[in-house]
Chains A and B, each alone.
Chain A
Amino acid sequence: MFSLAKLIKPALGLLAGATMMAAATSLAAADDTHVVFVTHGQSGDPYWSVVKNGMDDAAKTLGVKAEYLAPETFDMAKMAQMIDAITASKPDGMVVSIPDAAALSGPVKNAVAAGIPVIVIDSGGSKLTHDLGGLLFMGQDEFQAGVMAGERIKALGLTKAVCANHEVGNSSLDDRCAGFAKGLGVDVPVMNGVIDPTEMKNRMIAYMTAHADTQFILAVGASGAEPTLAALDEMGLAGKVKTGTFDLSPTILQAVVAGKMEWGIDAQQYAMGYIPVAMFDLWKKYKIMPIADYPTGPGFVTKDTAASVIDLAKQGKR
Chain B
Amino acid sequence: MTSQAHDQPAVVATALPAPHSSMPSIGSLVRRPEVGSLIGMIAVLVFFSIFGGANFMSAGGAASWLNVASELGIIALPVGLLMIAGHLDLSVGSMIPASSMTIAIISGHYDQPIIVGILAALGLGLAVGFINGVLVIRTKVPSFVVTLATLFALAGLTLGLSIILSGSTSVALKSGPIAKLVLGDYLGGKFQVTLFWWIAIVLIVGFILNFSRFGNWILAMGGDAVSARNAGIPTDRVTIALFMSSGLCAAFVGMSQAILYNSAQVAAGQSFIFNSIIAVVIGGVLLTGGYGSVVGIVLGTLTFSIVNQGIFYTGFDANWASLIIGVLLLAAVLMNNTFRTMALTYAPRTKSRVR
Contact = CB atoms under 8 A, between A and B. Distances in A.
A168 B266 contact: yes
B317 A26 contact: yes
A76 B323 contact: no
Interface in B59-83: 60-61, 63-65, 67-68, 71
Interface residues of A, number: 59
A65 interface: yes
A84 B63 contact: yes
Interface stretch (B13-21, B118-126, B167-175): B167-175
Interface string A11-23: 1101101110111
Interface stretch (B127-135, B216-224, B234-242, B308-316): B308-316
Interface stretch (B1-9, B138-146, B255-263): B255-263
Interface in A39-79: 43, 65, 67-69, 71-78
A131 to B, nearest CB: 14
B261 A77 contact: yes
A110 B64 CA distance: 13
Contact of B170 (A7, A15, A169): A169
A85 B309 contact: yes
A26 B170 contact: no
A87 interface: yes
Interface in B169-189: 169-170, 172-173, 186, 189
A164 to B, nearest CB: 14
B173 A8 contact: no
A89 B67 CA distance: 15
Interface in A69-99: 69, 71-78, 80-82, 84-90
B327 A15 contact: yes
A103 interface: yes
B271 A71 contact: yes
Contacts of B68: 81
A15 B312 contact: no
A26 B319 CA distance: 12
Interface of A is mostly: helix
A103 B337 contact: no
A11 B330 CA distance: 7
Contacts of A215: none
Given A18-B320, A103-B261, A169-B170, A81 B267 contact: no
Contact of B263 (A10, A23, A103): A103
B269 interface: yes
A151 interface: no
Contact of B312 (A2, A85, A103, A190): A85
B338 A89 contact: no
A89 B313 contact: yes
B334 interface: yes
A24 B335 CA distance: 27
A26 B268 CA distance: 31
Contact of A22 (B64, B268, B269, B317): B317
Contacts of B55: 88-90
B197 interface: no
B47 interface: yes
B161 interface: no
A82 B318 CA distance: 11
A43 to B, nearest CB: 7
B262 A22 contact: no
B265 A69 contact: no
B234 to A, nearest CB: 37
B314 A26 contact: yes
A190 B160 CA distance: 12
Nearest to B270: A73
Contacts of A26: 314-317
A86 B312 contact: yes
B324 interface: yes
B169 A67 contact: no
B215 to A, nearest CB: 29
Contacts of B186: 106
B255 to A, nearest CB: 12
A269 to B, nearest CB: 19
Given A7-B335, A84-B64, A169-B267, A76 B320 contact: no
Which residue of A2, A28, A34, A78 has the most chain B CB atoms within 10 A of its CB atom?
A78
B116 interface: no
A110 B189 contact: yes
Given A18-B327, A100-B263, A192-B169, A81 B51 contact: no
Interface in A168-221: 168-171, 174, 190, 192
A315 interface: no
Given A11-B330, A15-B327, A88-B61, A81 B265 contact: no
A89 B317 contact: no
Nearest to A67: B318
B112 interface: no
Contacts of A168: 159, 169, 266-267
Contacts of B266: 168-169
Given A11-B335, A22-B324, A76 B47 contact: no
Q: A-B pairs with the 9 shortest C-beta distances?
A: A88-B60, A11-B331, A102-B263, A169-B265, A22-B320, A22-B316, A25-B317, A103-B261, A85-B64
Given A14-B327, A21-B323, A102-B173, 13 more contacts: A4-B342, A11-B331, A22-B316, A71-B271, A73-B267, A73-B271, A75-B265, A84-B67, A85-B312, A88-B63, A169-B169, A169-B265, A171-B170
13 contacts: A8-B334, A8-B338, A15-B324, A25-B316, A67-B315, A72-B322, A74-B268, A75-B267, A75-B270, A77-B269, A100-B170, A100-B265, A106-B186
Interface of A: 2, 4, 7-8, 10-12, 14-15, 17-19, 21-23, 25-26, 28, 34, 36, 43, 65, 67-69, 71-78, 80-82, 84-90, 100, 102-106, 110, 114, 167-171, 174, 190, 192
